[in-house]
Structure 1
Amino acid sequence: MVMRGRIAAASLFALVLGGAGAPTDPWRDLNHDGKRDVYEDYRQPIDRRVEDLLAQMTLEEKAGMLLHASLPTPGSTIGFSGRTYDAVAAKTLIDQRHISSFITRLVVSPAELATQNNAIQRLAEASRLGIPATISTDPRHHFQATLGASTTGGGFSLWPDTLGFAALGDAETVRRFGDIARIEYRAVGIHMALSPQADLATEPRWPRFAATFGSDPVTVSRLAGAYVEGFQQGRHGVTKDGVATVVKHWVGYGAQPKGFDGHNHYGRHAPLTQAAFDQHVRAFDDALAAHSAGVMPTYVIVQGPTIAGKAIEPVAAGFNKQILTGLLRGEKAYRGLILSDWSITRDCPQACIAPDAAHPQTPASIGTPWGMEEADVTTRFVKGLEAGIDQFGGADDPAPLVAAARAGRIRPVRLDEAVRQVLRLKFALGLFDNPYVDADAATNIVGNALHQAKADAVQRASQVLLRNENALLPVAAGKRVWLHGVAAAAARAAGFTVVDDPAAAEFALIRTATPFETLHPHHFFGSRQHEGRLDFRPEDADVKAIARAAAHVPTIVAVEMDRPAILTAIEPMTKAMLVTFGASDAAVLDVISGRAVARGRLPFALPRSMADVERQSPDLPDDGPDPAYPRGVGIMLPVRSHH
């Protein structure tokens, strides 16, 4: 157990119980002066502690507070490699650049992650004012993983993607998930979730569809609010045992033409009608009402709507005073932290605008200053701060902010407002009193059997049964099955006999996924994102497998949908069809055998053809021609009894 100052790192079990077993006087002499300052005194109100610390900070320390950097690993300044942090580089960020907010991208065991995060807190405690680090993460509890946007692994309990929760539509299930994720994050020393996505998913080709709650603004709002409530421990702001949520991406992100994503230069615009924009705003309502600790603005330049009767300035939301100060702070009365998405102050060089095979886009050439491409870095910081940004994601050099402040380009009152937002959240999370965790306890907490059992139940229930011709499902155990895309061991464990030839089978089970294309192979994100087509075609390997099976036996197809799939080509070859949003083979087999019931309903409509996708408006939910399956459909089967 780590010991620093006068406090031992409590296990998370004690933390969850409200600090049971904690020392009665958790004073830590953070500025090393031998006396208890107001900001070091847990008995003082948070606002008094904030003001005391703010008064002791230099301009350079304040500027560092406005940056949310990446915890570096050996060989990667943004933490994409290795099993440990780069301690020397981290010490430079903390001591010399005065940064105390970081995203972690380590994927290691819970004990290792807890140990590494404790090491960062020791570096922070040794700094001049001992300001603890706030450590954030992209989502870690789901199946989908896209480098730079989400991850999987590291021992966390594994749940469906958020579309799976949308398929169930049950706010209490989302709250329970949030509570478990909160416990697991805090066990390893993570304090901030860069989630949920309250983006309204209106363009079917958009790569980030899977991380949303679907296409209905009322459902998205309700479930995103429940997510905040679960992570933060209630609807009144984050508690000291909670995890701060950063709801994103304010606002209009899911309306990208052709689905081209705003991380990329080619996806920087989002045209919306006023009526559509209002629906995208509506999707955020309950996350804001639940007092999400943070809000992250979208990358994209919103085009078309007006705010307070005026056309929106053609700059990304992170630079847009109308969207942040006018709409979010003003009309929506939001009072929490506004954290920019990553790299909005960085340049977008030629390798960012138009990379090619000889010059692909690397992390070094990622920049997203949409609408401010011609401005210098300092001007971007000033513009963002005045628009309403409190902290800049993916930035690790405070020099432009310091220079702008010294030149009178940043109002001191605005600088202090932003610093207060960051500090207030650290105090609310209890980090000044004890930022350390018990690495040994993390092993028993993260992904434990009880947590995973609850996750497994949601993997099963969130599946959507679209087709069940001649009551093929449930299938009795003992039958012979031909598999494609399913582990044979899982089928055997479910009681089926696996055969190598569909002609020898009694039924076939095939797992596939929404088709996609890699249309931008040289862009960092474009090369990793699923873009383009949604339709199955005869030349696809999975379609060939379906055709082979269907020629001999009744065929069950389970389609993993990270985006709405067009099923027209494969549906006539199937007798039963499931939709999954992150489910293990065991979870799918339990539904097929009747041990579990698929209770999900489609959280979006499924189009009939790519021509229909082209005819719809990217900014409106499910507005295309008559769909193959409308939002909300799903067949419910009774539970089979087992004696």
Structure 2
Amino acid sequence: MRRSHPGGHGGRLALAASLALFGMAPAAIAQSGQPAITSRAVPVITVEGRRFRDLNRNGTLDRYEDWRLTPAERAADLVARMTLDEKAGQMVVAEAPNNAPFGQPATGYAMDVVTGLVKGGHVTSFNSRLVLDAGALAKVHNDLQAAMEQGRLGIPAVMTTDPRHHFQTTAGASVAAGSFSQWPESLGLAAIGDPALVKRFGDTVRREFRATGFVQLLGPQIDLATEPRWARINGTFGEDAALSGRLAAAYVVGLQGGADGIGGDGVAAVVKHFAGYGAAKDGWDAHNRYGRMGDLGNDRLGLHLRPFADAFKVRPAGVMPAYTMQRGLIVDGKPVEEVGAAYSRVLMSDLLRGKMRFDGVVLSDWAITEDCGTICMNGFPAGQRPTFDGISTAWGVERLTKPQRFALAIGNGVDQFGGVMDPSPIVTAVKSGLLGEAAIDRAVTRILAQSFALGIFEHPFVDADAAVRNVGTAADRAAARDAQARAMVVLEARRPLALPAGTRVFLRNVDAAAARAAGFTVVDRAQDADVAIVRTAAPFETLHPNYTFGSMQHEGSLAYPDNHPDVAAVRALPAKLPVVVDVYLDRPAILTPFKDRATVLLGNFGATDAALFDVLSGKVTPVGRLPFELPSSMAAVVAQRSDTPADSAAPLYPLHYRAPIPTQK
């Protein structure tokens, strides 16, 4: 006889029937036979000649343990067995704590803290910022999964991460590549503009993440980058809505392992940020209170929704709402509330869940339910180094209590909350009557169906030795380096790009070893050189150093100040010396100081010195086109609309620009 189980049943059968997003993977498993089973402390039982993990250790095969059923069926059964506290634990993605203080190198996770989160809060989803080599990362993820086996129901961990395959590293937005292959930023993939390449990139991320134990990516970021001053342009596909949509869909297909939802060896895609985050008023970012207001007009809403509409066609697992508050926005005749998107019924329930019919997991961005105190309101005191203490992004709902915030967002259709270490306010919201348990069941069923589709209930552990072999392979690193070089945009070319072997080069901000490896002769004085090669980056200002994200992000002017050291260095070069200037464009820089002086002017979106020399030696021909326009002045930037693509007056280089390359004589 099956024992009775605590937990409510409200709405679970109707939801299970609607979860087509997660309904196909088990059928494929059943047709192909026994899936891989990995287990440590959890017993493995045999039923009808097939092996299953006895997750709750009761000696019988329960429906949620049966991989022959659909994810929706398994999720409905598991939800029926759960207490309210256990359900609430599913609805948060906690930060996996490192075993070293913030900002210092760590060797693993603080497992005592992890165990406390699992046992005390029933938490099973963790976001990782840990940077280790592939084998070590696989081992610590196995240790964490072993801790999960001790839970009453044996629910495995969902290991989540921000993007790790690029160049820029900003806490809360991206993580250092480490052992993973290092590709150009998403802007660089947009510069190439090839969906097949983006699909291949997504597949590479999938393979490398699954090898080390990651099963969910907080990405791709598919905001339309219409405000050139915005600090987060780097993670987008630029400001062409149609191109962004095509590339977003290709990325999701590669990452999830197919165009019909998550495959059993896929990585769940959480497309972000819904919607209009890129229309940032004055360029400020909504991580910060001073940047909480968006600037999205009703006539531009459809444009900013385009990438999401295209991505939804290939069924991404999740969506992350934007932090931004929009003022005066109207959707289908309904005014959008002046709150962060997760708290807007018009955006979440009516538009996302209703009109756009998204039925996957809605995962909030980080800290939206936290209280906004003095630090959140005003930043850290002068002279004090900002940390993540006191962070909140509860824009528009600051006066609500935590249970009220959770209840409002869940009622709108949000399923899961990022960066939450204590799920008890969700329990309080139900027990105090702010929220019905049926809404909790709907959310948890979606979350668990996703986990079942990922195959981690059968196979939570990874092979650390295989991770060493399969992450950052020579083939993947070569493909990544080729993409770095091909993504470069030729802005000026007054001579052929390829330099003859043995050319004497004077270098600034370039590794001499990379130049020598490419066959060039490095000289110490510009007067002795045939060509000067200068690498630099788009300018920025740090205008809010007392705010956590303001202290890290690139804000403010896109124009180089007169005293910029690289500008001064170029001006000081001998007048007749040819100069190659290569600029890292994390934002649309105003390149006036280099336009006329540079013999060759290149824009890159994340490229090693070796990739640059692949271009300058003629090994690789760059094919990139600008994924955003490059303005001619800050006056033009200030005058343009934050929600409109490519609308600055008289841009120095227009959207999709690429200069012709002279042929070698």
Q: Same fold (TM over 0.5)?
A: yes
Q: In structure 2, how many angstroms separate the alpha carbons of the residues matched to 1:157 and 1:73?
A: 23
> Mean Cα displacement is larger for which, 101-110 or 279-288?
279-288
> Mean Cα displacement is larger for which, 609-618 or 147-156?
147-156
After superposition, the Cα gap between the structure-2 partners of 1:287 and 1:35, relative to the gap in structure 1 and judged at 3 Å, is: same
In structure 2, the residue matched to 1:465 is 490
Contact 1:351 1:360 in 2 (8 A): no
In structure 2, the residue matched to 1:396 is 421
Q: What is the CA distance between 1:354 and its match in structure 2?
A: 1.2
Q: What is the CA distance between 1:472 and its match in structure 2?
A: 4.0
Contact 1:253 1:298 in 2 (8 A): yes
Letter in 2 for 1:589: F
2:328 is matched with which residue: 287, 304, 307? 304
Q: What is the CA distance between 1:351 and its match in structure 2?
A: 1.4
Q: In structure 1, how many angstroms separate the alpha carbons of the residues matched to 2:231 and 2:72?
A: 41
Question: Is 1:561 aligned to 2:585, yes or no?
Answer: yes
Q: What is the CA distance between 1:350 and its match in structure 2?
A: 1.2
In structure 1, the residue matched to 2:342 is 318
Give runs of aligned pairs for residues 486-501 of structure 1, distance below 5 A.
486-501=510-525
Count how many residue pairs are aligned between Structure 1 and Structure 2: 623
Question: Is 1:600 aligned to 2:614, yes or no?
Answer: no
Question: Is 1:407 aligned to 2:407, yes or no?
Answer: no
Unmatched segments (≥5 aa) in structure 2: 1-28, 38-48
Give runs of aligned pairs for residues 248-397 of structure 1, distance below 5 A.
248-355=272-379, 356-397=381-422
Q: In structure 1, how many angstroms separate the alpha carbons of the residues matched to 2:77 and 2:572?
A: 72
Contact 1:600 1:634 in 2 (8 A): yes
1:91 is matched with which residue: 105, 115, 118? 115
In structure 2, the residue matched to 1:6 is none
Q: What is the CA distance between 1:126 and its match in structure 2?
A: 1.2
Q: What is the CA distance between 1:636 and its match in structure 2?
A: 5.0
After superposition, the Cα gap between the structure-2 partners of 1:547 and 1:19, relative to the gap in structure 1 and judged at 3 Å, is: farther
Contact 1:595 1:640 in 2 (8 A): no
1:106 is matched with which residue: 127, 130, 134? 130
Letter in 1 for 2:316: S
In structure 2, the residue matched to 1:213 is 237
| 1:599-643, Cα deviation, whole Å (9 max, x unpaired) | 0001111100111111111111111112111111113548989xx
Q: In structure 2, how many angstroms separate the alpha carbons of the residues matched to 1:531 and 1:543?
A: 19
Letter in 2 for 1:369: A
Q: In structure 1, how many angstroms separate the alpha carbons of the residues matched to 2:292 and 2:33?
A: 46
Unmatched segments (≥5 aa) in structure 1: 1-14
Question: Is 1:146 aligned to 2:170, yes or no?
Answer: yes
Q: In structure 2, how many angstroms separate the alpha carbons of the residues matched to 1:630 and 1:431?
A: 47
Q: What is the CA distance between 1:362 and its match in structure 2?
A: 2.2
Contact 2:496 2:664 in 1 (8 A): no
Q: What is the CA distance between 1:474 and its match in structure 2?
A: 1.8
The alignment yields a C-alpha RMSD, in angstroms, of: 1.8
Letter in 1 for 2:525: D
Give runs of aligned pairs for residues 224-263 of structure 1, distance below 5 A.
224-263=248-287
In structure 2, the residue matched to 1:610 is 634
Q: What is the CA distance between 1:50 and its match in structure 2?
A: 1.2
Question: Secondary structure at the residue paired with 2:252?
Answer: helix
Q: What is the CA distance between 1:359 and its match in structure 2?
A: 4.8
Q: In structure 2, how many angstroms separate the alpha carbons of the residues matched to 1:504 and 1:625?
A: 41
Question: Secondary structure at the residue paired with 2:533?
Answer: strand
| 1:296-332, Cα deviation, whole Å (9 max, x unpaired) | 0000101222112011111100111111111111111
Contact 1:205 1:532 in 2 (8 A): yes
Question: Secondary structure at the residue paired with 1:60?
Answer: helix
Contact 2:166 2:177 in 1 (8 A): no
Give runs of aligned pairs for residues 378-457 of structure 1, distance below 5 A.
378-457=403-482
| 1:95-153, Cα deviation, whole Å (9 max, x unpaired) | 11001111011100111111111111111111100001101000000011111210113
Contact 1:507 1:554 in 2 (8 A): yes
Contact 1:344 1:367 in 2 (8 A): yes
Q: In structure 2, how many angstroms separate the alpha carbons of the residues matched to 1:227 and 1:535?
A: 33
Q: In structure 2, how many angstroms separate the alpha carbons of the residues matched to 1:247 and 1:598?
A: 29
Contact 1:200 1:254 in 2 (8 A): yes
In structure 2, the residue matched to 1:173 is 197
1:527 is matched with which residue: 538, 544, 551? 551
Contact 2:35 2:458 in 1 (8 A): no
Give runs of aligned pairs for residues 182-197 of structure 1, distance below 5 A.
182-197=206-221
**What TM-score does the superposition give when structure 1 sets the normalisation length?**
0.94
Question: Secondary structure at the residue paired with 1:270?
Answer: coil
Contact 1:615 1:624 in 2 (8 A): yes
In structure 2, the residue matched to 1:42 is 67
Q: What is the CA distance between 1:568 and its match in structure 2?
A: 1.0
Q: In structure 2, how many angstroms separate the alpha carbons of the residues matched to 1:486 and 1:22?
A: 48
Q: Which runs of structure 1 show a deviation greater than 6 angstroms over 4 or more consecutive aligned residues?
A: 18-21, 638-641
> Mean Cα displacement is larger for which, 24-33 or 388-397?
24-33
Letter in 2 for 1:50: A
Contact 1:598 1:637 in 2 (8 A): no
In structure 1, the residue matched to 2:646 is 622
Q: In structure 2, how many angstroms separate the alpha carbons of the residues matched to 1:153 and 1:113?
A: 12
After superposition, the Cα gap between the structure-2 partners of 1:80 and 1:125, relative to the gap in structure 1 and judged at 3 Å, is: farther
Q: What is the CA distance between 1:22 and its match in structure 2?
A: 3.6
| 1:386-408, Cα deviation, whole Å (9 max, x unpaired) | 11110010111111111111122
Identical residues among aligned pairs (%): 46
